[in-house]
Amino acid sequence: MSVVYGILLYGVAAVLLCGVGYRVVRYWRTSAPLKIPTTPAPVTRGGVVLRMFREVVFFESLFKGSKWTWLFGWIFHFALLLVLLRHLRYFIDPVWGWVEWMQPAGVYAGYGMVFGLAGLWARRLMVDRIRYISAPSDHLMLVLLLAIAGTGLLMKYVLHTDIVALKLFFLGLLSFDWQPLPTDPILLLHLFLIIVLALIFPFSKLLHAPGLFFSPSRNQADNPRERRYAPGAPTR
């Protein structure tokens, strides 16, 4: 089982990196022939950095658009960030001080993830407009994330696993010195779901993460008169 998961994890890491890398390179190489920032927009590069920061960190536009979606969406994403940071302790030794310090927050964030996801799913199911635009994959994505958060919380509170052995397994993977993986079904399920998530990342709407940074309506400065924007006519 350790070998199967080891190979799976290496493989999925490669798919994730290459898949997202391929997309990013393709976005990068595709020209943006015209200035199309949604205005009012910052008139300087520095202003654009600030605008992107507010989008990435506070979801500024979504806040303008829908308070409920913003609330659930922001809680989910922020909680996910805390949970990911908390998980750093399985991959580094010795554990950095601040990672140790934020462990309790990371645990509560697990509930935050479930709360946010449940809210988003409830909207998807109950608001007629959002139900209309949802494909099966949009529902399944939420189920998958809920299952990941759920199995994680279960391991924390009900079905404990040997996290010392788990850490050795991951440190081993990182140093190419394979160690046995604990075989509790709940842990294997948790890991499997994460592998699935990582695998579909480069092929799904999860590309919104890198996509935001390439969005011309957000990342362009509004200065077409002051500085001639001349990327060249789009070539056929």
Partner 1 sequence: MNTKSEFAVPTLKEYPQIPVIQIGAMSHSKPFVAKAEHQQPLGFPGELVDDWQQVALRKMEELLGKYRALPVFLDSCVKCGACTDKCHYFLGTADPKNMPVARQDLLRNVYRRYFTFAGKHFPRLVGAIDLTEEVLEDWYRYYHQCSECRRCSVYCPFGIDTAEITMAGREILASVGVGQKYANEIIGKVHKLGNNLGLPGPAMINTLEGLEEEIEEDIGVAVKLPLDQAQADVLLVTPSADFFAEPHVDGLIGYAKVFHQAGISWTLSSYASEAANFGIFIGNYENMQKVAQRIRDAALELGVKRIVVGECGHAWRVAYSFWNTLIGPFDFLDPNYPVPQHVCEMTYDLIQRGALQFDRERNDDKVVTFHDSCNVSRASRMGNIPGGQFVIPRALIKAACNHFYDMAPETIHEHTFCCGGGGGLLTDDLLELRVKGSVPRMEAFKRVVEDHGVTHMAAICAICKSQFAKVFPYFEFEMDAIVSVHQLVGDALQLGVER
Q: Which residues bind partner 1 (CB under 8 A)?
A: 23, 26-27, 30-36, 38-43, 47, 55, 59, 61-62, 64-66, 69-70, 73, 120, 123-124, 127-130, 132-138, 140, 200, 203-205, 207-208, 211-212, 214-218, 222, 224-225, 228-231, 233-236
Cβ proximity to partner 1, 74 vs 170, nearer residue? 74
How far is 134 from 57, CA to CA, in rounded Å? Answer: 26
| Min separation Cβ 194 and partner 1, Å | 19
Directed axis angle between helix 67-87 and helix 136-157, to 10°? Answer: 50
CB 194 within 8 A of CB 16: no
Match 């399985």 to its residue by tokens. 90
| Min separation Cβ 77 and partner 1, Å | 10
How far is 29 from 19, CA to CA, in rounded Å? Answer: 16
| Min separation Cβ 198 and partner 1, Å | 15
Cβ proximity to partner 1, 178 vs 203, nearer residue? 203
Cβ proximity to partner 1, 52 vs 88, nearer residue? 52
Cβ proximity to partner 1, 47 vs 172, nearer residue? 47
| Min separation Cβ 103 and partner 1, Å | 30
| Min separation Cβ 7 and partner 1, Å | 21
* Positive or negative torsion for Cα 155, 158, 159, 165: positive
Match 């939420």 to its residue by tokens. 142
Cβ proximity to partner 1, 6 vs 119, nearer residue? 119
Q: Which of 206, 199, 210, 212 is nearest to 16 (CA)?
A: 199
How far is 13 from 18, CA to CA, in rounded Å? Answer: 8
| Min separation Cβ 110 and partner 1, Å | 22
Residue 223: strand, helix, or coil? coil
CA–centroid distance for 59 within its chain: 14
Cβ proximity to partner 1, 158 vs 233, nearer residue? 233
Cβ proximity to partner 1, 166 vs 200, nearer residue? 200
| Min separation Cβ 12 and partner 1, Å | 15
How far is 152 from 180, CA to CA, in rounded Å? Answer: 20
Q: Which residues contact 139 (CB under 8 A, 6 or more apart)?
A: 121, 124
